[in-house]
Chains A and B, each alone.
Chain A
Amino acid sequence: MTRVVIDPVTRIEGHLRVEAEVDDGRVREAWASGTMFRGIEQILQGRDPRDAWVFTQRICNVCTAAHGIASVRAVEDALGITPPPLAVIVRNLIAAFQYMHDHVVTFFHLRAIADWMDVTRIPEADPMEAVRIAQRISDWPGNSAAAFRTAQERISAFIRSGLLGPLANGYWGHPGYTLSPEMDLMLAAHYLEALDWQREVAKAHAVLGGKSPVLQTFLVGGTATPVDVDSSAALNVDRLTLLRELAGTAKSFIDAVYLADHLAITTGYAELHRMGERTGNVLVYGDFPLDPSGDPGSFALPAGVIVDRDLEHVLPVDQERITEEVTRSWYQDDPAGPLHPWEGTTEPAYTGPTPPYDRLDTQGAYSWVKAPRYDGRPMEVGPLARVLVAYAAGVPRVRRLTDEVLDRMGLRVDALWSSLGRRVARLVETTYLAELTFTWLDQLEEAMRSGDQRIHAGRWDPSTWPAEARGVGFHEAPRGALGHWVRIRDGRIERYQCVVPTTWNVSPRDASGTPGPLEAALVGTPVADPTRPLEIMRLVHTFDPCMACAVHVYDGRGDPLGNLVEPV
């Protein structure tokens, strides 16, 4: 047995450590550990609930809108406030642009660059052959000899300089890289193009929310960007036109480059993708109302639970069945056992090794991430979960897009329960939302035409609120099901709790010893060279972890730091 330790796991957001027992070229057992903690929910206690979104939005700013949306929805739910149609439309647009931006950046800049391409072989590529390959899969104007030569010269000069910067010490030359140098060149050219593209597309968030990253526009009860066709200080026809242009820029690149390259890689590495999923359960809260009333029945990505891979039965989501366990996390366990987020109490209690350390004690507690469970089961959340539920629930566009992709690879829908499934799901939902963006822009235009200027529901003054209230806000963040639970007393936050996508996916073991979805998926992963664990990195990356999101504490009862258990 060899213990492979990856810390830091790179090209993700935040601080993740993976330890794996490797024997005979395969992972036998794995542990995922979050190694950073801030205590944001503790900081929220006693504050104005209208401020909560500003704080929680800073949990993570890769998905720079996600926690803002979930937070205002939680407080609105508690106070019985329904945001007006304009706010529903604007939130949809913000989230849709987030998906497009995030999925493309993640694919090119965090994944392809070192999970699938061997950058060091680009100098030997034949640019004309690369152009032929690229033009076969897409008619993107950027797939030209001039563009590919420029990219090749740039990368080659970079390599010749001997200063490889962020590319130094990559797993170059690893037998796991099987794309041709020409494919590598095509992806590199698109990597560079996507850097410019994402900067441009981010402007949509500036139009809708003042700036990107970290939009500054969410309000409990609505949205802060005024709408008025006759004002230069509001969303007007000029800004709507800019949004349409940006949506067009986003969609054309997604259709012609992201989709094509994604398919090329997925096909090129198809044999590696029939693995990497072992939990068999998925959870989706649902989001993206197509009806501006916000009606959950109109969600473009519907809610649902699937258990034991049973696509015949999509179960309704009952949030009361969610609990969090901390038996293997660095928090004090509650004698009452796993509790629902509205009830739970958690206090940090670090029992890990004293830094600096080489190994975690994986027999005991080993992570700042807690273990959320639904009906006691670990659940995978994210693109795969959303697409499986939408597919099983019969959403026509999702079914067609998914079937098209699967047909091209000669696979059936069961093949989605895998790393490949996560890749396919990302491109399906990105394509789907790129199309729907125009639906919401049409709705925005229609609202403008009808003279609707109502961006806020009112009841802003805390004196209009009940003395005690509790609520829950859901959002489908790019990385999956996100929930915020809030209790309000006398106009202040009494308790705040977030259960976020990566907490579900990167959860440690629970009291019964059942591993989280990532830990389970890693088992059986081949490892050709334990000193260069490319395959483990790839698999971890299919979950797209966001560790800043994953780690929380809630409830400030007592003095948590005083309860710290001294490591022996």
Chain B
Amino acid sequence: MDGWAAVPARSGTTITRRAFLRFCSLMAGVLALPPRYASEIARALEAAAASAERPTVIWLEFQDCAGDTESFLRTSHPTAADFLFVAISLDYHEVLMAPGGELAELSLREAMERAPYLVIVEGSIPTADRGVYCTVAGRTAVDELTDVAKGAAAILAVGTCAAFGGLAAAAPNPTGAVGVREVVTDRPVANLPGCSVNAVNLAATLVHYLTFGELPALDDQGRPLFAYGHLVHEECPRRGHFDAGRFVREWGDEGHRSGWCLYRMGCKGPAAHSNCPLVGWNDNTSWPVAAGHPCLACTEPGFWDSSTPFYRSMGEVAPAPAREREGLGLGVALGVGGAAVAAGVGAAALVHQRRRERPTPARSLQEGGAS
């Protein structure tokens, strides 16, 4: 228990204090804030730790795989224990809570009486056929989310399913799955996509919210800029190999063993907005490209259709014959990214262009399907 909450204000040990301040600096860095914000983060977290009024958090799960919950358990700065016992009051989370059934519902009602609260949503929301594809306590996901959202100060849609519909919304979307923003339109929603969300970004967004009382700045897909403001391709340590034309051609070949570019093996890094190359995973132990596998662009809306087939390079990803009837074409995000790569457009210009012009792939897919 050597995280910040082991708790500076209470135990006051210098080692813990030093570790705590180091964490605050790190958080300021992850959040792309000037270093002076480290002390502000420290103050806010110490206040939260000392306060009996930890902010209420309600975590809802719908069409999910618990991958984002597992990510939450892997947070290091702060740790899951720090969040659970010191920083927040996680009043409803079906995977972690003690009561079940009616008493779990009671916990939810009691939490809702403490509005305004923070809501975290994991999993997509099925809208087809009056919502019968996901019910909790006999209520549909749509009803539950709509009801709980009424008292929300803000909502975090964690993982690509909650953010954009994700896996269940992949063609042909049998259950009419959508992301949170399709259901809740009158509350601030931050999308934290990723399949699953990177623990670093979940923790940093929570810390930002606890520190400043509001969501961080978002891009036009609702994603925090600090985490999703750059393309994987821009920050990729293998970018030099891409520029020099050194590509992996077969699994386990010399280029693969030497850490060359995975573009030809299907890497979608040029279309993926994520800080994976910068912050890594599991305390920066690794991340997919570093471990030899192409990026799937799992932070992008509609990546299950626009990034597939996963092992075709972006230039080759074309509508699959069997799926053309679904109205799917080349993913818009990929189209932009791919064209930019082909044209040698500078990374900064690419981001700028995307920020201004990027259409919503989910929308264009729907329009495509209707036409």
Contacts and interface: CB of A to CB of B under 8 A. Distances in A.
B84 interface: yes
B66 A13 contact: yes
Contact of B296 (A216, A348, A368, A553): A216
A90 to B, nearest CB: 11
B259 A232 contact: yes
Interface string B102-122: 111011001000000000000
Contact of B97 (A10, A227, A453): A10
Interface in B65-123: 65-67, 70-71, 73-76, 79-81, 84-85, 88-104, 106-107, 110
Interface string A193-225: 101101100110111111111101101011011
A556 B170 CA distance: 14
Nearest to B168: A38
Given A206-B291, A460-B250, A35 B136 contact: yes
B310 to A, nearest CB: 5
Interface in B279-321: 281-283, 285-293, 296, 304, 308-311, 320
Nearest to A494: B322
B293 A196 contact: no
Contact of A169 (B76, B85, B103, B320): B103
B129 interface: yes
A37 B134 contact: yes
B174 interface: yes
Given A60-B65, A212-B74, A224-B291, A168 B252 contact: no
A55 interface: yes
A492 interface: yes
Interface residues of B, number: 98
B136 A7 contact: yes
A11 B104 CA distance: 11
A101 B52 CA distance: 33
Q: Of residues B91, B96, B100, B143, which shows the largest number of chain A Cβ atoms within 10 Å of its Cβ?
A: B100
B54 A161 contact: yes
Contacts of B212: none
Interface string B176-211: 010000000000000000011010000000000000
Contacts of A455: 251-252
Contacts of B95: 10-13, 110
A162 interface: yes
Contacts of B286: 206-207, 210-211
A54 B307 CA distance: 12
Contacts of A249: none
A512 interface: no
Contacts of A237: none
Given A169-B106, A217-B292, A553 B174 contact: yes
B175 A231 contact: no
Given A150-B1, A196-B1, A58 B167 contact: yes
Contacts of A109: 73, 96
A168 B99 contact: yes
Q: Of residues A46, A55, A228, which shows the largest number of chain B Cβ atoms within 10 Å of its Cβ?
A: A46
B253 to A, nearest CB: 9
Interface string A157-185: 01001110111111100000000000000
B65 A233 contact: no
A531 interface: yes
A461 B110 CA distance: 57
A207 B98 CA distance: 33
Interface stretch (A250-258, A295-303, A351-359, A416-424): A351-359
Contact of B309 (A47, A198, A357): A47
A266 interface: no
B282 A234 contact: no
B322 A8 contact: no
A446 interface: no
A203 B1 CA distance: 18
A187 to B, nearest CB: 14
A105 to B, nearest CB: 7
A241 to B, nearest CB: 13
Contacts of B234: none
Contacts of B79: 195-196, 199
A180 B167 CA distance: 46
A170 B250 CA distance: 54
Q: Of residues B6, B53, B286, which shows the largest number of chain A Cβ atoms within 10 Å of its Cβ?
A: B286
B236 to A, nearest CB: 13
B308 A51 contact: yes
Interface string B1-19: 1000010000000000000
B310 A51 contact: yes
Given A64-B67, A113-B98, A231-B259, A46 B104 contact: no
A15 B174 contact: no
Interface string A256-299: 00000000000000000000000000000000000000000000
- What 7 pairs between A and B have smallest CB-CB spacing? A233-B259, A170-B98, A46-B322, A61-B67, A39-B174, A210-B291, A211-B281
19 contacts: A6-B100, A9-B101, A39-B175, A47-B320, A54-B310, A58-B67, A61-B67, A62-B70, A162-B52, A168-B97, A196-B81, A205-B282, A213-B71, A216-B296, A217-B293, A222-B251, A225-B291, A355-B135, A561-B128
Given A38-B177, A167-B97, A193-B1, 18 more contacts: A13-B95, A14-B64, A36-B62, A46-B322, A54-B296, A55-B304, A61-B66, A64-B70, A169-B104, A169-B107, A169-B110, A199-B76, A209-B293, A213-B67, A217-B292, A358-B138, A531-B102, A560-B174
